[in-house]
Chains A and B, each alone.
Chain A
Amino acid sequence: MEPKARTTETRSNGTTSDGDEAVALESLQFTDEIHRLISAPSTDNASSFTALLELPAPQAVELLHSPESAKLIAAPAPNVEDIKGSFHFPSNTGLIERAARFSVFAGDSNNNNNKTGSAETTSNNSSQNPQKEVKSEPAETESCQPLVSDPTVEKRSIKRKDREKKVKGSTKKSKTAANESSEDAEKLPYVHVRARRGQATDSHSLAERARREKINARMKLLQELVPGCNKISGTALVLDEIINHVQSLQRQVEFLSMRLAAVNPRIDFNLDSIFTAESGSLMDGNFPSMVMPLMWPEVQVNGNRQQYQQQWHFDAIQQPIWQHCTRIK
């Protein structure tokens, strides 16, 4: 249930961050917001993928646009061990993307502002940061700098490539998978699904996987509803069984209504007796008429169930009637 909860959270946050993005691209708020975000209290685990997101996101920004500013961002991130990534993360990426975009527009001013902190932060980074991503970052900054040219769309694709490069460089395998999933989950803030090891991680397959899981959950529910489906493995057979069951239920309704049509006038509809007769015992006085019509629906419906020998609806229904008959006799 956890991914679902996260999904709802991130969905709501994602929409708000998109709205924010559209609103303001102001230099004054740029660095302030990022600092505020990084210093904000956050997750449970440093090892959770959301915590890792704090690192790749600012580092991706840095790699793309201005190394100094991004390093400044990256520096406080490792210091903050508790990061509520799942909560702040979409807004973080939104603002970081905005920051990324903005830094291209006003690159000089930002670089100037952040140069003072850069020297200190690089040393801080190398000393404090246990994550491999930061170490691989200087190698990649040079390669990525010439890529900085156009806003928004290209940035996103570049970010993806960079993150994949970073991830390949990292040796922590579990975090690699988590990184990949988280990085791609960033693209769609409303899809928050954790990818497993060795599985494709682009947005389409993530969405497909979420769908598949939903479908499988519902198939399980159906299996519980339909008697005898638990033993069957394989969705096709289960679906066949479900179809059979629905067909037989519909036929039962038809037969029973036919029976009601035939038997109707003799029955006194007494609500209380019907409600108390929940347990399956039937009203008196109608057994001869009821036994006969009961035979032919049973024959016709049971003909459909050749494959299965399980005792089934009609059998359960038969028993109380026969009990009554025997009692009368």
Chain B
Amino acid sequence: MSPHHLNPSSLKSRFTTRFLRALTNINAQNPISSSSPREILQRYRRIKVAADKSMAYSVRSRRTWSRAMRWKLRSRSWRQASSVRRLKITTTCHQAIMKKTAHERESKTTTGEEVGFGVQTDGLRELVPGGEAMDICNLLDETAHYIKCLTTQVQREQIAS
């Protein structure tokens, strides 16, 4: 890692501030007295969510994957809030969107567009959030940005721990 002074509005700094804020919040909420595995698991889940959330929000939804991730997080929080009606709406909307984009993707591939790599793109689509709804061109773009953000996240978490 090259030690250089941070740009105050860069992705790294944004992520760092958000993440640390989330961590302090979690710490404040649950003062750990004992280190029982169950509590650790709970905290782990919360921290993971906080990390994902802070990353997704600091990307400012200019990217498809961040939008997909935000949507996922929001739907998860809604599900936890146990509002059944909201859940139904969101899932049906999401399914409609996914169907539509799947159709688009199929039609694109059947119009003679040459796709040299089929299997791996599916694997990539699973990995990158929101990847099912994109064609290869955009998928590669999103993957590059996602990799960059993940590496930032990992570096920061490494430092923070």
Contacts and interface: CB of A to CB of B under 8 A. Distances in A.
A267 B124 CA distance: 36
A76 B43 CA distance: 80
B48 A264 contact: no
Nearest to B150: A249
Contact of B159 (A214, A240, A282): A282
Interface residues of B, number: 54
The main secondary structure of chain A at its interface with chain B is: helix
A280 B43 CA distance: 25
A260 B112 contact: no
Given A208-B112, A239-B117, A215 B136 contact: yes
- Residue among A243, A257, A265 with the highest chain B CB neighbour number at 10 A: A257
B127 A256 contact: no
B137 A218 contact: yes
Contacts of B27: 264-265, 269
Contacts of B26: 264
A264 B32 contact: yes
A226 to B, nearest CB: 7
A277 B159 contact: yes
A278 B159 contact: yes
Interface string A254-280: 101111111111010101001101111
Interface residues of A, number: 50
Contacts of B101: none
B82 to A, nearest CB: 25
A313 interface: yes
Interface in A61-117: none
Interface string B130-151: 0000001100110110111011
B78 interface: no
B74 to A, nearest CB: 20
Contacts of A215: 136-137, 140
Contacts of B113: 208, 211
Interface in A204-257: 204, 208, 211-212, 214-215, 218-219, 221-222, 225-226, 235-236, 239-240, 242-243, 245-247, 249-250, 252-254, 256-257
A211 B147 CA distance: 23
14 contacts: A221-B140, A222-B143, A222-B147, A239-B120, A242-B124, A243-B124, A246-B127, A256-B154, A256-B157, A257-B44, A257-B47, A258-B44, A264-B32, A269-B160
Interface of A: 204, 208, 211-212, 214-215, 218-219, 221-222, 225-226, 235-236, 239-240, 242-243, 245-247, 249-250, 252-254, 256-265, 267, 269, 271, 274-275, 277-280, 282, 290, 313, 316-317
* 10 closest residue pairs by CB, A with B: A239-B120, A279-B3, A256-B157, A261-B44, A218-B140, A249-B150, A261-B43, A265-B32, A257-B48, A257-B47
